[in-house]
Structures are given as C-alpha cells and as structure tokens.
Chains A and B, each alone.
Chain A
Amino acid sequence: MTGDATENPTSGSGHGRLVLLACPAVTGELAEGVIDAVDCRELEAHLHVKPDSLKVALREAVAELDEPGTTIVLGYGLCSNAVLGLKTEHATLVVPRVDDCIAMLLGSNEAFSREAEKERGSYYLAKAYLDECSTIVSEHEAMVEKYGQERAERMMRLVLKHYKRVVLVRTGRYDIEPLRRRVDEVARVYDLAIEEVEGTTRILDGLVADEWGDDFIVAPPGHELTLRDFKPELYKDAAGEAAAGGGPRGRPRDGGPEPDA
C-alpha cells in the first residue's frame, strides 16, 4: 500500500498506509478486533510521567514511520507537551486535539473540564490505564511491601492529600465492576469516594477509522505540531478571529505564521 495514496474525504490529504502510534493506556481501550486490524506501534506506558523521554521516543518512532503515502495516527494527546515539535517530511500526522487520554476517553477537553469542575480532587482511571500504568493502586501495594502498612499509608496520604474521589471512566466496552473491586481497597483506606462517569471511545474509534473531524489535528508533511494547534484559545492576540472561532478544525493551518521558532 505504501505510496499508493488514496483520497481522504475528511482531511483532503491522501493516505495509503495507516499506522497507529500509541500509548498502551490508549490501545487497551480499543475494541477487541479493532486493534488486530490496525498496524499498531506501542511505546512504553510509563513514559507519560517523563514527558521529555516520551518526546524523544515519539520523535524516533515518527521518524521511523515517516514515508510517503503513510498516515501516522497518534494515540496520544498533548501529553504534557510531549507531542509538540513533532514533524514529518513525507507522512501525514493525525492527533486528537485533547490534553491527554482521560480527556480522550471522556470525549473532549470540555468534557474533562466539566467533570473536573464537579471535584478538582479527582483521580481518573480507566481499565487500560489501571492495567498499564503506575497508579495509586499499584503504588499503594508497592509502598506497603517496601515500608509496611503504617508508613506506606502515611506516605500515600501525602500523595492523596488533595484527592476526594476516584473516577472510573465507563466507555461501555467492558464491565466496570472488576475495576471497582481493584480500586476498592485504596479508596477505603484513603477515604476516597468511587464514582463512575460516562466515557466514550468516539475519538479513539474515529482516529483509526480515519474519521477526522474537529476533534483532530491533521498535519501534512512539514507542519510542526505547536501548542497553537492544541490550544488556539491561548493565542488571542495573533489571528484573533481564528482563535475566537476555536482555531483550525480538522485540518492544519499551513501557510499561517507559526508562533514558535
């Protein structure tokens, strides 16, 4: 398929081969069957706590996949700015316009903001995140083993000082009860409420099905991902009208001045 570009009705850019470059915390939320049908490259899940290392790993992986006729779709959000600066020479790069995987699974940055407004002290979990990443559940267990129950609890209370609840994101793809059971002990020990919220895999499904609407940044070869792509609202002064309208929708704004050198 490489080099045999086909027209994409959404983005207007052609793509032949689609490769998903993603975090395991994201791929784990894809429906069974979908992941098998996609050419998928995963990076380490632990990288999300080390944005600089994630940035390097992403650059290397993108450079490796950067061929004409290829579309690289990223199963990442802004992820502490790790995706900023990514650029291809030949391939098209597509990335959901969200801050992170939680916003992705809640459906948008706005959905995340609405949920966060209910309670700032929220610790969000979804199944793949719990499976793949270091969380308060795995950390509690490791600390108890290393320092004993009493000291571990004292240390974990410092971590969880501002947290009031654990939010389980329910995408409908799996039974949430086993998740609740895995979180139950930590929630009880540290006085956290457990709440479920409605999530969605809409962005994730759209990403691999090349349905790239407003929720996606579609960067053609040569377009470097900048903060402006993700947060046009911060750029009120320059190109004010575009920013006021929410910035580019589903397509890159090539030809416009880039804010970052």
Chain B
Amino acid sequence: MNETLTSALVEMREDDVLAAVGAAKAAGMAATDIIADLQAGMKTIGDKYEAGEYFLSELIMSAEIFKRALAELGLDQSAADTGARGTVVLGTVHTDIHDIGKNIVASVLSANGFRVVDLGVDVPVEKFVAAVKEHSAQVVGLSCLLTTAFPAMQETIEALAAAGLRDKVTVVIGGGPVSDDLAEQLGADGAGASAQEAVNLAAKAVEGGAA
C-alpha cells in the first residue's frame, strides 16, 4: 500500500496525488496496484462521507482527482478505445441530473479495461438506443439518484426492447435507490450498489455471456 498516494487523495491534495502517481509509474509499479491504492483512498472518502465527516463536494473532488490520476496512467476513457474488454454505454436517465456515482463508475470501468461511452445526465431514451447501436455496446448502465426517475429507467429499457436491442445488451441499473428487486421489476438484468459491482456485472456480461 502506497500510503503517500492514498493519504494525498483522502486529503484532496491533487498535485501530490498526480506527483505520487507519476513517481510510482516511473518506478515501474503496476497500474493495477496504483489503481488499488487510489481506490482505497476513494473508499476511505466514501466512508467519511457516510459518517458525515466529509461533504458532497469533497466526494466529487476526490472522484475528479481519481479521474485525472487515471489519465496520468493513460487509462482515461478515450485512451481505452482500443483493446477494450467490452463497451459500456453509461448515463443518468432522463429526469435526473445526479452523476457523482455514475462518474465514479465510468472511471472505475475505464480503469478496469472497459471502453466507456458516457452520455451524461438527463439522457433522453432515444440517445441510449442510438448509442447502443452506434457503439455495438454489450452493456448499458442506467443511473439515477431520484426515485422519481424510476419511470424513466423503465421507459429506457422498454425503448431498447422496442428497438430490438434488448437481447443484445445487458442492462444494469445503478444509483442510491436501486435494488435487485427494482431491476427485476423494471426488466433490467441486474443492479449494482458500488463501482466494483458495476465492474463485476460488466465483466460477467462480456466474458460470461450476456445475461
């Protein structure tokens, strides 16, 4: 464990994080080990947020620093275009604009070798359908924080079915209020409660055969 790197991230010292990543890389440390240290820092920050010690802005700032650290390692989304394990179309569904979790998932998927097409927030149903077609995605990740966005999630999954794409993609839902029960009700293939679960679900979809 690279304490310098992890604590720099937990303390939001962006320059120190990037310097530590650069140094570790130069010293020949494996990218996966550097990522593990960064993810350990993210976990601590998440726990501090849960405990009320950290604010939302600190959580988001850490995700931003994490993203830059990945870019430093050449593992940002655009860099993962070739030789990817698979393609994941990701977005916060129509009627919702919350994206902290979605952005963290995008970074972690990229870090784990997936090509991520991030459609942003308040994404119209048609945009998901078009992106799945255009990028021949194997996985679609639908995110929401608001329970008011459940109908939009359902509409998006129905639209994928109407476009004849439902059998071709694994649909995974994520975000604070989602659950396996909800996934089943909305017609999704699974639900993830963390970035790591998103990676596991995506890996299962592309390597273990689509659900």
Residues of A within 8 A of B (CB): 46, 50-51, 78, 80-81, 99-100, 103, 109, 112-113, 116, 120-121, 134, 139, 142-143, 147, 152, 154-156, 158-159, 162-163, 227, 230-231, 233-235, 259-260
Chain A residues within an 8 Å CB radius of B95: 113, 116, 120
Q: Please, could you name 13 A-B residue pairs with CB atoms under 8 Å apart, sorted by A?
A: A50-B50, A80-B147, A80-B176, A80-B177, A99-B148, A100-B147, A113-B148, A134-B56, A158-B61, A158-B64, A159-B60, A230-B147, A235-B185
Q: CB within 8 Å of A: which residues of B?
A: 12, 50, 52, 55-58, 60-61, 64, 95-97, 99, 121-122, 145-148, 150-151, 154, 176-177, 179, 181-182, 185-186
Contact among A78, A139, A152 with B56 in the assembled complex (CB-CB below 8 Å): A139
With A155-B61, A260-B181 given, is the CB distance from A231 to B97 under 8 Å?
no
Contact of B58 with A81 in the complex, beta carbons under 8 Å:
no
Question: In the complex, what distance in Å separates the CA atom of A240 from the CA atom of B105?
Answer: 36
Residues of A close to B181: CB separation below 8 A: 227, 259-260
**Are A139 and B57 in contact (CB-based, < 8 A)?**
yes
Q: Report the minimum CB–CB distance from A40 to chain B (whole Å).
A: 24
Residues on A with C-beta less than 8 A from B176 are 51, 80
Q: Are A116 and B148 in contact (CB under 8 A)?
A: yes
Would you call the interface of chain A mostly helix, strand, loop, or mixed?
Answer: helix
Given contact pairs A113-B95, A143-B58, A260-B181, a sample of 9 additional A-B residue pairs in the complex whose CB atoms are under 8 Å apart: A139-B56, A142-B55, A155-B58, A158-B57, A231-B151, A233-B151, A234-B154, A259-B181, A259-B185
User: What is the chain A residue whose CB lies nearest that of B187?
Assistant: A237
Partner of A147, one of B12, B56, B147: B12
B55 surroundings in chain A (CB, below 8 A): 134, 139, 142-143
Given contacts A162-B97, A162-B99, whether A51 and B177 have CB atoms under 8 Å apart is yes
Q: Which residue of B lies closest to A226 (CB)?
A: B181
Instruction: State the Cβ distance, A105 to closest chain B Cβ, in Å.
Output: 14
- Given A81-B177, A158-B64, answer yes or no on A227-B57 (Cβ-Cβ < 8 Å): no
Q: In angstroms, how far is the closest chain A Cβ from the Cβ of B141?
A: 18
